[in-house]
Structure formats: C-alpha cells, structure tokens
Amino acid sequence: MIATARRQGILPQLYRKLFNDIYPDEKTEILLLKNQVKEAYLSHVRSAMMLSAELLRISAEATEKNLEFLCIKGPLLAYILYEDVTMRQYGDLDILVPPDTLPRWHALLLGCGYTPAVDFTPAQYAHLRRHTHETSYIHPQKGTAVELHWRLTGSDFPVPFDIRGFFKRSVTVPFRNGALPAPETYDHLLYLCVHGAKHHWERIEWLYDVAVMLDRSPIDILQLLEKAEKIDARRIVEVTLILCEKFFLLPIPERVRKNRTAQRLGETIAKTLNRDFFSPRIRKKLDPAHLMMLERPGQRLKAAVSMFQPTPLDYRTARLPEALHFLYYFIRPWSIWKRYRG
C-alpha cells in the first residue's frame, strides 16, 4: 500500500486519512500499517521542507540578479492548493525561465552548488534546446534537484503555450515567510492539464491537483475551455474534466459530457488508470489514446516523429564525440526497441 501511495503521489492523503479517521478496536495489523505510513510520511515531510527552503534560497539569488522566473508545480502548488507544502509529493523544483536567460540561470545554479545532471556537448545541448523543454541540475551534497524549463512542452507533446504571456500575466503568491512568482490561475491550471495528459496521468496526484484547483478556485470552466482552444488544448482539458468527474465526482458542464470524442478518450484512459493503479506498466508514447489527446493532425505527426529524436537518456547511454553526434539517430531505434520490447 505504501509503495502504491508513493508511486501515485498520494502518501500525504493516505497519512491524513489513517490518522484523522477513528478505527474502533484497532488490530495489530492496522497499528503496524499506521506506523509504517507515519514513518514514510515523515520522510516526505523532511524532503518537502528541504525543497521549500531551497526554492526560497534560489529565488532570492534570482531576484538579486534581476532574473525572471516562475515557479510551477512543486512546493508552491502545494501551498496554493492547501497552504501546506507537505500535502503534495514532489521530488524536485520546477522553474520556468525566459529562453534567452538560460546561460545566466546556468551560472546561477552553478553558484548555488548545482551541477548539470548530464554534461552535454554543444551539439547535444543545441539539439535539446530545439526539441525538448527542460534540463536537470543536481546538488551533490543536498541531493536536491532542479528542473529548468524554457518551454512547457517539447516536440513529443507539442502544445503551443505562450510563454511570454505566462510571464506578463503572472502573479506573486505568498509562500511561507516570503513570496514567489507563479502563473496566474488559468495558466497554471492549463499547464497542469497538459502536463498530466503528456505523462498519461501515471500519477493520480496530477489529476487530483486539477480537481482540487477547480474545486477551491473561482474557475469559469467555459472560460478555461476558451483559453485552451487558443493553444489547441481544448480536447486535453475536456478529457481531464471527464476524468475528474469519473474519479472525484467533480461536476462538469453538460456540453463537455456530451462530447463523444472526449468521452471515449476519457473512458479509455480511466480503464487504463484503474488497471494500472497497483501494477504500473510501461506506457507507449505512441499509443492511440495518447496521440488523440492532441487535436490537430500536425501536432500528432510532430509527436510521432519526435519519438525518433535522441533524448538525454541516449546521451547518457552512449557518450559519442561531438563529430559523431549524427549516430544518435541510429542508436535511437535500438533504444526504443529495448524499452518497449516487453
């Protein structure tokens, strides 16, 4: 149970449920489970507090250097939804930055004690800048990680977010003993829908985040759909709403419920989530339901082609000289076969 709760991102909810409810005549098995859950939860609390402090430290450095950034997901989202950084699970910090500030952010993170998770060659880094949306940094002593985003999606799930608009519409959110910049509510919610869809909703936590934000924020769903349509993400949002209704009984507009394509996709994804809740499987990027979440044929074609682009994992697996970078395109099919052969 604990392993499943961790994997699904609902360990804090399991802990609160076990310790807030009263169980008459608790047997030894229940007491043992509660102790195990408490131990796992306290470990999560320590990690959440460390990451929260690290986020404040990095944000102070960025502010001092006059660097723009937005905090997405992570401890700030936990604070927005629950006013408690321990009520969500997260293992790193996600920071969105303007693309032209990446060199300065790289220098800032190095100065904060972080190192790149992968030491890319110039050709590898140029390729990643074109086709992906993030790169990772690790703090060797603290064990904390930062995901630096210059876009919100890559070519593997192309949704044309207006990044400059995100920064123009951003808000400042109180956070512990400080304040942090974040996307405004509709932008943040749209991103959460797209992020969950991109990852096949593998963690029920991601869907629950959307349901909680819809329940606790003054969101006009029709306005949300209009905003989604502008970035070719209306279907993604409609399917997300249908999943929120199926799993969390969230009321949704009748017009969404009657959308046959979204309803069919929602039912397919819900069956997969129920099937894999306790025993996860490797999801194929090119499964039909995943591709059909993307509305336009051009988006689906781009996502399909991107599967054959080299990834950071390929760069870690085979360290080729700069002059042989083209060979990664031949290594990639082997990597795909190896991952999905089972």
- Is 87 within the bounds of a domain? no
Chain segment 260-294, per-residue pLDDT in tens: 999 999 999 999 999 988 887 666 556 788 889 99
- Residue with the larger pLDDT of the pair 315 and 48: 48
Give me 107's structure tokens.
Answer: 């220098």
Instruction: Look up residue 113 and give its two tokens.
Output: 């004690």
Average pLDDT of every residue of the chain: 90
Task: Specify the residue for token string 């905003």.
Answer: 227
Distance, first Cα to last Cα, the chain: 26
The answer as to whether 51 is a domain residue is: no
Residue 257 lies in a domain: yes
Mean of pLDDT values over 85-105: 95
Q: Is residue 222 one of the residues assigned to a domain? A: yes
**Of 76, 75, 293, which is closest to residue 182 (Cα–Cα)?**
76
Report how far Cα 12 is from the mean position of its chain's Cα atoms. 18
Closest CA to 330 of 300, 301, 310: 310
pLDDT digits (tens, 9 = 90+) for 2-28: 899 999 999 999 998 888 766 655 667
Model confidence pLDDT, tens digit, residues 235-247: 999 999 999 999 9
Residue 104 pLDDT: 96
3-state secondary structure 290-302: HHHCCCCHHHHHH
Q: Is the dihedral of CA 146, 151, 157, 159 positive or negative?
A: positive
Tell me, what's the pLDDT at 340?
Answer: 66
The pTM is what? Answer: 0.90
For 257, the domain range is: 184-294
Q: Is residue 231 part of a domain?
A: yes
Could you give the angle at the alpha carbon of 261 between the alpha carbons of 157 and 152, nearest 5°?
20
- Structural domain includes residue 251: yes
Q: How far apart are CA 61 and CA 105, in angstroms?
A: 10
What is the pLDDT at residue 127? Answer: 81
Domain membership of residue 112 (yes or no) is no
User: How does DSSP assign 256-297, residue by residue?
Assistant: HHT-HHHHHHHHHHHHHHHHHSSS--PPPTT-HHHHHTS-SH
Domain count, the chain: 1
pLDDT tens figures, 209-230: 999 999 998 999 999 999 999 9
Sign of CA dihedral 16, 19, 22, 23: positive
Domain-located, residue 202:
yes
